[in-house]
Amino acid sequence: MTTKAAGARRVYDLGPIGTISLGEGRTFRAGPAVIAVFRTRDGKLLAAQAACPHKGGPLADGIVGGGKVVCPLHGYSFDLATGEPVGNACPALKTYAVTVDESGEILLALDDVCQEAGARPG
């Protein structure tokens, strides 16, 4: 994985889009964050926190459909574009900006945690 700093954001190259099948998700570590990237059946790429806010279920292993993911542990659903819970009272998922570059690499932009917190990188 390669990274590039862009102001207060860091861009992570997560590898080729072909590593995620249509209608599935995959978990990636990007710096301090663990992120689930989903590829919908209509080709959209969406990213959210990897752990379900209910009890930490692995969302990348959930069922993806209709713009939502269904957690594999207890079946709670979340809208992948907004992170909002669907039909449950869990907190919303944190979502992330993810794109594909001209060579088919998945790029994930994260705010630089050190700069946000005012800490110095060690």
Q: Applying CB under 6 A, does 71 fall inside the site for ligand FES? A: yes
- Residue 54 or residue 112: which is nearer to ligand FES going by CB? 54
Q: How far apart are alpha carbons 59 and 51 in whole angstroms?
A: 6
Q: Which sign, positive or negative, has the C-alpha torsion 73, 76, 80, 82?
A: negative
In this chain, which of 9, 41, 74, 94 binds ligand FES, going by CB under 6 A?
Answer: 74
- Residue 71 or residue 106: which is nearer to ligand FES going by CB? 71
In this chain, which of 20, 76, 106, 110 binds ligand FES, going by CB under 6 A?
Answer: 76
Residues that bind ligand FES (CB under 6 A): 52, 54-57, 71, 73-74, 76
